[in-house]
Amino acid sequence: MKKTIAVLVENHFGVLTHVSGLFSARGFNIESLAVGETEDPTVSRMTIVAEGDDKTLEQVKKQLNRLIDVIKVIDLTDQDFVGREMVLIKVKIDGKNRSEILQIADTFQAKIDDVKKETVIIEVTGDGNKVKSFIEIMKPFGITEMARTGRIAMGRK
């Protein structure tokens, strides 16, 4: 089962290594990991999506709470939360498919970040299903490059 966990940590060198090490030591495969500064520059927020069972997750959460640099561990898995991902995708474009690609991008409420003679870079933000669907629709046009973030998430409470 996929688990989504937010971890607030002190913004110090090596914290990411310690946190990700706990997951790998317990056999959790980290599917995505997004880390960034919070409203407080001394605190970072890690959003981790990992696959594993409930018992192992409980052990990992307990061990995370014991780390000195960890401020708070929030298991969002069973909570109501807002989760988003982003993809930048470079697609081949020509006179024949230009309007179709731009129309599809508009349907997905995507942002056109760059247009060249032979390529377009499109930014899509949304839940994982939206991002995945957009990628699948763009494949026939010819994806030349892609960069996808991991999930970021925040509980609604």
**The pLDDT value given to residue 111:** 97
In the chain, where the domains are located: 2-78, 82-155
| Sequence-distant (≥ 6) Cβ neighbours of residue 155 within 8 angstroms | 6, 74, 76, 79, 80, 81
CATH assignment of 82-155, given 2.160.10.10, 3.30.70.1150, 3.40.50.720, 1.10.3720.10?
3.30.70.1150
- What the block records as the tokens of 121 is 């870079």
Tokens found for residue 58: 């409980």
CATH for 2-78 is: 3.30.70.260
Q: In terms of pLDDT, which residue wins out, 25 or 47?
A: 47
The two three-digit tokens of residue 54, written as one number: 């409930």
The secondary structure of the chain in percent helix, strand, coil, rounded to multiples of 5, reads 30, 45, 25
* Domains 2-78 and 82-155 alike in fold: yes
* C-alpha–C-alpha distance, residues 19 and 53, integer Å: 18
The beta strands (E) that lie in 13-138 are given as: 29-37, 43-51, 70-75, 81-92, 111-115, 119-126
pLDDT digits (tens, 9 = 90+) for 53-109: 888 888 888 989 999 999 999 999 889 999 999 999 999 999 899 999 999 999 999
